[in-house]
Amino acid sequence: MKIKKDDTIRVVAGKDKGKDGKVLSTISKKQKVVIEGVNIRTRHIKKTSQQAGQIVKYPAPIHVSNVMILDPKDSKPTKIGYSIGKDRKKLRISKRSGEVLDSKSAKAKTAKKAAPKKTK
């Protein structure tokens, strides 16, 4: 699946068409993603002796074919391609502008690994 956690996407089909949001999680076996503020469902929880009854709203999964990632340059939907970087790592790129799409968290993880450890 080409869409990953923390990507900014736009819904291109369904009842929430046109909405933008950040990917909260992915379900790769079912090819679905959970996006904040999109496909909101309501669940009524019955009261018990320990807690009061309540109404909970939560984002439900949406199929990955109904979303497109946003281009970092102009914030328009784009397809995703792949290329090999200078350090021989596979990078996700935007087909629209050629910009690298790798999330900030992935870059931070590689930066932490590359940083030398302090010893006393």
Long-range contact set of residues 62-66: C-beta below 8 Å, sequence gap at least 24: 62/11, 62/14, 62/16, 62/32, 62/33, 62/34, 62/35, 62/38, 63/31, 63/32, 64/1, 64/2, 64/3, 64/31, 64/32, 64/33, 65/13, 65/31, 66/11, 66/12, 66/13, 66/14
pTM beyond 0.85, yes or no: no
Report domain extents, the chain: 8-114
Residue 103 predicted with pLDDT over 80:
no
- Output the pLDDT for position 85: 86
Residue 81 predicted with pLDDT over 50:
yes
Structure-token match 């930066």, residue found = 111
| 38-48 mean pLDDT | 96
Residue 21 predicted with pLDDT over 70:
yes
Residue 114 predicted with pLDDT over 70:
no
Q: Of 15-24, 61-70, 99-108, which range is least confident?
A: 99-108
Residue closest to 34 by CA, chosen among 14, 65, 54, 64: 64
User: What is the pairing mode between strands 62-63 and 67-70?
Assistant: unpaired
Reply yes or no on domain 8-114 having CATH 2.30.30.30. Answer: yes
- Output the pLDDT for position 116: 61
| Dihedral sign for Cα atoms in the order 76, 81, 83, 85 | positive
DSSP letter at 65 equals: G
Higher pLDDT, 112 or 62: 62
